[in-house]
Every structure is written in C-alpha cells, then in structure tokens.
Amino acid sequence: MLVIIRSNYDAVLDALTSGFEECGFDPGSRKVLIKPNIVSPHKPTVGATTHPAVIEALLVYFGGRRCILAESCVVGVDTDETFEKTGLAKLAAKHGAELVNLQRASRVTKAWKFGELSLPNLLFECAYINVAKLKTHILTGVTLCLKNQKGVLADADKMRFHRIGVDRAIPALYDVLKPDFAIIDGIWALEGEGPGKFGERRDLGLLLMGNDALEVDNLGLQVMGFEPGEIAHIPDAHLGEIRGEPLSNVRAKFKRSKGYYKKANTFYYPCGACSGCSNAIAEAMKSLMSKPWKHPLKVVKFALHGIIGKRFFVAGVDAKFPEGRGAVVCIGNCSAKFAGENSLKLVRGCPPAAADIIDVL
C-alpha cells in the first residue's frame, strides 16, 4: 500500500496519522526505531535532512511505546555533535526517546551478496521505520529510502560500499535489511546538486508513505520526474495501490545533478567518492566564500586563480581527469594512487579536513 499526502510541517502529525491508518501499519508490541536522514548538521531550511517536525510528530504518534531515534552521519562528521546541533537530542529528551549513535551500536554479522556485513542488532529487534528525504544526489542521482539505509553502516562499510560500487551495494543491502515501514519527507525537498548545501530547496508539500521501501522509492522517483529504472541503485518495482493524492496531480520535474559542484572557476567531481570527501569539499568551498573575513588572503588568491583559469578537484577510487583544461587536485586517500601516477597535488585524509582543502583552494 502507498499513500501520497499533501501537508505542511504544522499539520504533519495529522498527515502521518492518516498515512499509517491507510497503510494499516501496526508495530505490535515491538519498540519503534526511527531512522531519519541526518547526514550532517544542516539547518532544516536547507531541505537536505528529515525535518525535525516530522521526527517529533512520529515521537508523538508512537508516544505510548518505547521509541528509539537512531542515526550515523557521513564519514568525518561527528554524529553526537550533529544530534545537538540539529535539535535531535532535545527532541529525544522531550519525548523520552532513546537516542542512539549507530556507530556505537552492538552489531550482528549478516551474509550478503559481497560476503559479510555488520548491521545494528536494533534494526532486527524493533519496528524499523525509515524516514528519508526527497532529494537529488551528485553521485547516485537521488537519495531516498534505500540509500538512507547506508547510514546504518559502520564507517568502514560505508567506505567499502564505494569500493564495491554504491549502485550494486545499496540494493544488495536492501536484500538483507528491509524497513517495516517507509516514509519520504517531501514537504521541503531538494533538487540539483544535492544532497547538501549545493542543492536547491523545492517546496512540494508532500509526504510519501508505504509498507514497502522499494515501492516508496519508485513512487518518489515518479514524483521527481525520473523514469522507472533510470536510477541504478533503485530496482524497478510495480507500484501497488496508491491512496490519497493522485500521482498525476503531484508529478514534478526535478533538476538533475550535473555530477559536479561548481563555485566560481573551481569544479569538484566525486568519481565514486563517499559522502565524507564530498561533504568536506562542499564545506570548504562554502566556508571560503560565505565567510571571507575568516580567510581574507585565501579568498583573494581564490579569486585570482578563478580569473587566471579553471581548477578541478577529483576524489574517489574512480578518480580521472575531468573534461576541460585546468589544474587538477586530488582529494582524499582514495585518489592517492591516481595522484601519484599523474604527479598531481593530493590533499590527504579520510576524509580530509575542510581547512586543508581551503589551503589549496
């Protein structure tokens, strides 16, 4: 069962209640585990993370039972600090929910397509609700429920997914870990160069809900204007009955990611890099340009380099020379081999510090 509901954040509790009732979702006597998409400490207004109003509404709806808020941010971002900065810690305390940093959760080994995978025990002990965001992604095209599951992995496995290839690893993860219920927060969505600050917020006013995360993801793709099968990590699935708002009334045409970030004459190509490197370069470029008083001489040099010519930053195990001419700098340890083979400058780290990238910018 799938449900499309028009809502805003003030009315989101009523919308969620309606969706759960339409889908007949009942966690029974189990604890409820809510896994949002909180990749890094973005403000809710960016449209990159599950909105706190949605999380609080879920805590209210399931207030009669034990609830767990569980998340693990991208590699290189402190999850506990993010809980504080985004207000999740306060929400959990306010509603008596347990707050779990999944990097420290006890784990169980599961066999999967690529050998063995370590996954948090809680996901198999609780009624697991995946609460994703409707947004585009520079590397994978979109990031919805299936990709949101990457946040349950240990950091070592997050990086391993990129060595395997995320388009193969994400659906393989879904084979061994399926949410009990799936929600996509599309009230404020993100298009263009997502999944973070380089994307553009799009106010859709929609919640997508369903019992099957793969169906919900396919519904999300159609709402965003993607064709079935267009996104490699989301297998095509037949959509079951859709209740609520007709799909034909809510279809949009999201701006696709071009596959790179651009600021002035500086370009960043992820080349299979994990979100740690992508987040580091995005933070560095944003910090340099939005807070020039912090780095006045570096901003002047950055501007002069932009006038003189283009510069390209590449990262990831698939690092290669981008189209176009200009200086190339490699970001992160995964691109070290490519940098060495081609005598290129390398900013080391897994991921590198934004301050080190700013020095090069």
Residue 253 pLDDT level (bands cut at 50, 70, 90): very high
The domain at 2-250 falls in which architecture? 3-Layer(aba) Sandwich (3.40)
pLDDT at 296: 75
136: tokens are: 């585009």
This model's pTM is above 0.95: no
Task: Spell out the domain ranges in the chain.
Answer: 2-250, 261-360
Phi, psi of 234 (to 5 degrees): -115, 100
Sign of CA dihedral 74, 77, 81, 82: negative
Q: Please check whether residue 239 is in contact with residue 212, taking contact to mean a CB–CB distance below 8 angstroms.
A: no
DSSP string, 180-246: SEEEEEEEEEEEES-SSTTEEEEEEEEEEEES-HHHHHHHHHHHHTPPTT-STTS-------EEES-
For residue 147, give the amino acid letter: K
pLDDT at 306 over 70: no
Q: Tens digit of pLDDT for each residue in 33-85?
A: 999 999 889 999 999 999 999 999 999 999 978 999 999 999 889 999 999 99
- Closest by Cα among 189, 196, 173, 343 to 277: 196
Residue among 319, 321, 296, 320 at smallest CA distance from 310:
321
Burial degree of 32 (CB within 10 A; 0-12, 13-18, 19+): buried
Q: What tokens were used for 50?
A: 């599950």
CA distances from 304 to 160, 235, 324 (A): 38, 46, 19
Identify the three-state secondary structure at position 91: helix
Q: Which of 135-139, 176-180, 266-270, 290-294 comes out lowest in average pLDDT?
A: 290-294
pLDDT tens, residue by residue, 167-209: 999 999 999 999 999 999 999 999 999 998 889 999 999 999 9
First to last CA, the chain: 49
Query: What is the DSSP annotation of 276-319?
Result: HHHHHHHHHHHHHHH-GGGSHHHHHHHHHHHHH--EEEEESTT-
